[in-house]
Amino acid sequence: MSQLSNEILLALDNAQNSYIHALDTKNMDGWLASFTTDGSYICIAAENEANNLPIALMLDDCYARLQDRVTYVTKVWAGTFEDYQTRHFTQRISAEAMGNDTYKIITNYHILFTPEQGQTNVLVTGHYDDEIVLGDTPLFKSKKAVMDTNVSPRYIVYPV
């Protein structure tokens, strides 16, 4: 891995922080705004990933479907589920330049959830496999959330 400047690493971390902040504040427009307009998002169990099984939990492989995921959460599902608060914790593990201001970064994540009744538990844990483009605002060209938690402890409303 070539040495990246602190400035670049900071910009990459800022992108990740805005992403998780949008999710923890249930700001789905902010979530969408963290992707490029050719961006994609996939959330998949590590078991499927390891066995080359393509079924995901969320598979937004074009921008239109990223937009639709905002609609699912804010319009389709609103008022039908017992809500919960998430708290994402991340740690960057590696970052690598791919050219054209694009960087490939691997980040561990750990997400806790607190339902309305107040007891906190682990939602899922795993790693992000991301491509970030550094421009005026650093944005995700692709984000893949691979979940070690092959058996999730409940329904998942918000992206991971």
54 vs 135, beta carbon nearer another protein: 54
Chain residues in the site for another protein (CB under 8 A): 43, 45, 47-48, 51, 53-62, 64-65, 67-68, 71-72, 75-77, 80-82, 150-157
6 vs 51, beta carbon nearer another protein: 51
Beta bridge partners of 1: none
Q: How far is the CB of 12 from another protein (least distance, A)?
A: 27
CA distance readout (Å), 78 to 75, 82, 87: 5, 10, 20
Q: How far is the CB of 42 from another protein (least distance, A)?
A: 8
Is 77 in contact with 65 (CB distance < 8 Å)?
A: no
1 vs 55, beta carbon nearer another protein: 55
Q: How far is the CB of 45 from another protein (least distance, A)?
A: 7
65 vs 104, beta carbon nearer another protein: 65
Residue 63, SS3 per DSSP: helix
- The C-alpha angle with vertex 137 and arms to 26 and 43, in degrees rounded to 5, equals 45
Q: How far is the CB of 51 from another protein (least distance, A)?
A: 7
Q: Which of 51, 40, 112, 115 is nearest to 83 (CA)?
A: 115
- Rounded Cα distance between 117 and 110, Å, is 21
11 vs 112, beta carbon nearer another protein: 112
Q: How far is the CB of 98 from another protein (least distance, A)?
A: 25
- Rounded Cα distance between 55 and 108, Å, is 21
